[in-house]
Chains A and B, each alone.
Chain A
Amino acid sequence: MNRTEPVALTGLGCICALGSTVDACCAGLFQDQRHLAPPSRFTSAHAIRYPVFEVRGFPEVPGLLRTSALALHAAREALADAGLDAAALQGLRVGVVVGTTVGSTMNDEGFCRAHRADEEPGLAPMERILNSNPAAVLARTFGLRGPCQTVVNACSSGTDALGVGAAWIRGGLCDLVLAGGADELGRITYNGFISLKITDEAPCRPFDRDRKGLNLGEGAAMVVLEGAASHRRRNRRARSFLLGYGSACDAYHPTAPEPQGAGLKRAIAEALAGAGLPPEAMAFVNAHGTGTPENDRVESRALQAVLPGVPYFSTKGFTGHTLGAAGAIEAVFTAVCLEQGRIPANLGFSTPDPELGGTPVAQATTVTGLAALSESLAFGGNNAVVVLGKGEQA
């Protein structure tokens, strides 16, 4: 893979348990905020009430999946941040690519329950899903005229969406791309992750010796990706640059990472090559760090092998695992950390694990580098990595 042209991030938007704007979320990262509690929007019959990171007070939108409503919220913030209103978008080729896990899944429990009870359920729940494809919702709402894609690569979807969007810009398919990820919390996902026995009943402890699993979260992040010509013409400050993207499949196991992290290492190598930067140029790594024993072991060892000495941390202790949104949320955090020259503590870490070969950042730290890496690992064996560069001065 050759070096690729940088793509500007001229607008950022984010909503998660930490807050409903980029500023609120990122402030929370440095105030050690953790809004973790049992689910408030649904119940379950588990003896243990596994805690989650919900977006509290977010209004339901009739006829629309919460996932798409979260994506819309983040997209509005990103577009405003980029100085783009409806009129400005009209003359541009704007694509949209959104990563999700549940945003287009045909799973409505009430519908299924009625159907299985030999009733004749109405199609409203299914029509709501069919009407809520996240990328299509954004394209429709903002009248976008470029290509439209919903990426369903499980937990790497958000990172992959950024890579896809950047490729569309470099390929001349679009002037701008609205790219990111979104996912909502619900009973089905909640029960599903508990069934896999990778959920912690306490606050998650990424990269800690005593880690027991993840906490689920929800949210969305969207960024405005902009090609060089449009960026110059609009004379808008780039808050960051997407310098490189890499992805690779483990081809090993449906839900477990390859023990040596071979796929992750290839994805990192591709992203660095695209950025044209050596490993030592990375100021930090915003790791996937779910807090599950296997993910953190594989990821930490891979980081020691290919990015030795580069500080790393996980923000899952602040947000929970937001699944298809995670990669996009963490890319936004990475961009802001580069902008502010500081990184947060790896919340939940206290005891080093000798098996991991390294330890994450234990407390908020200043950084001076010009580039950083954000990575996602996913079921299906997917690994996706973006290298982001520091933006332009305000």
Chain B
Amino acid sequence: MTRITVQGLGLVGGFGTGCGALAQALALGRSPRSSLEVPTGAGPVLLDAFRADTGALKDLISPKVLRRMDHITRMALLAARLALADAGLEASGHEGLGVVLASGYGATASTYGLLDSMINDGDACTSPTHFANSLHNACSGNLAIALGANGPNLTVSQFDLSVPSALLSARQWLLDGRVERVLFGAVDELSDLTGYLWYRQHGPTGPGPMSPLRTRAASALPGEGAAFLLLSSRAEAQPGYCTLENVVLGPGPMPPTRNLLVLGADGRTATGARYAAAAEGAQVACFTPLYGSMPVAPAFDLAVAALMLRAGTLYPTPSGAPCDFPCVVAPAGPLAGQGLTCLALGDDGAFGSVAMRPISP
């Protein structure tokens, strides 16, 4: 059986940039909040949000190239470069490297830019740049160019299940021997569109922390960011973070597992009760309060799981309000070789689970 390992992580989100920033947030149990100004009919509304700062890219990319890049591509490229560096790989020239990207909403700012150009300037002045950037796979195409990654390239959009769905194909490529390495990533952005959507669905954000393990508490905060994992089926020089054991998708319920569950619950009432049902009787952890609610948050769950499996230590679940799920919140401490399963639920009752294990010597 082919063994797939996670060799590198690249992250940018509300907690900051890089694995160190996420590890620090995990240790502290909180991330700094920022804000998002949302245009509404009653004037701008300010929401609390977890925003990603891509300023670190200016040290990696020429200003000329950077100027042409939209925010979602900047987040993805920064995280991709960090994942490659973390895996000990060069920044470019990746002959045959596979790229798989998941995005729930895609390039919503460029989509609005495209529509703005049509609405404000007329059909004949539709922006070709915004049109090209509005396509879901523009981001992965730009990544391929920037990284010289000329292997297979796949973008998947399955809203809240984008991450497990895309990961299923990334894993299959490795098992089939199509490629030996896949740069797997996920990205979603906050924009006028997604901000408004959020505001209308959830209302103003509250002052308290996210409390995702309470069934009826609407405590979600919007987030954005990119999380990339360098997956490999090679016998790599460095041991890596963990192994990717399995990815399962279906209409639910999830098959039983002995692994500790990392729940994708994010304080939305729409899914709270179903996460509670899925977690019944299990030992769980949940880290969404560190990066917020977004369709691709499960990719950050994978990154946290990878960090914990390599360290052999379970980080504490950031405490919000008390848990009312019928489960046990696992205390911080040694993992003792235990595997982790990251669970994501879609709005329609479907689930996606990703099982990961520590690397055995």
Residues of A within 8 A of B (CB): 1-2, 4, 44-47, 101, 104-107, 109, 112-113, 115-116, 118-120, 123, 126, 130, 133, 135-136, 139-140, 143-154, 160, 164, 167-168, 170-171, 173, 187-188, 191-197, 247-255, 262-263, 266, 270, 378-382
Contact = CB atoms under 8 A, between A and B. Distances in A.
B114 A251 contact: no
B196 A171 contact: no
B132 interface: yes
Contact of A254 (B138, B194, B250): B138
Contacts of A250: 144, 150
Interface centre among B118, B136, B140, B350 (most CB of A within 10 A): B136
Given A120-B42, A171-B176, A150 B156 contact: yes
Contact of A249 (B114, B127, B141, B159): B141
B154 A251 contact: no
Contacts of B193: 106, 112, 115
24 contacts: A46-B123, A104-B157, A105-B111, A106-B193, A109-B119, A120-B40, A136-B159, A136-B346, A151-B154, A151-B156, A152-B137, A154-B137, A164-B172, A188-B114, A191-B131, A195-B127, A247-B154, A248-B152, A253-B145, A263-B150, A266-B150, A378-B137, A379-B135, A380-B144
B256 interface: no
Contacts of B134: 105, 107, 192
Contacts of B138: 254, 379-380
* Closest CB pairs A-B (n = 7): A380-B141, A120-B41, A152-B136, A192-B131, A249-B153, A191-B126, A147-B249
B177 A2 contact: yes
B188 to A, nearest CB: 11
A123 B119 contact: no
A252 B178 CA distance: 21
Interface string B322-361: 0000000000000000000000001110100000000000
Given A45-B122, A153-B155, A254-B145, A192 B150 contact: no
A154 B154 CA distance: 10
Contact of B250 (A145, A149, A154, A263): A145
B119 A249 contact: no
A46 B126 CA distance: 11
Interface of B: 39-42, 99, 105-106, 108, 111-112, 114-116, 118-119, 122-124, 126-128, 131-138, 140-142, 144-145, 147-159, 161, 165-166, 168-169, 172-173, 175-178, 192-194, 196-197, 200-201, 249-251, 346-348, 350
A248 B176 contact: no
A116 to B, nearest CB: 6
A152 B123 CA distance: 25
Contacts of B348: 136, 140
Interface of chain B, main secondary structure: helix
Nearest to A378: B137
B137 A149 contact: no
A123 B141 contact: no
A188 B108 CA distance: 14
Contacts of B173: 167
A249 B42 contact: no
B69 to A, nearest CB: 11
A197 B158 CA distance: 31
B249 A148 contact: yes
Contacts of B145: 251-254, 381
Contacts of B127: 195
Contact of A251 (B124, B148, B175, B197): B148
Interface centre among B116, B138, B153, B172 (most CB of A within 10 A): B153
Contact of A1 (B158, B168, B177): B177
B60 to A, nearest CB: 18
B285 to A, nearest CB: 25
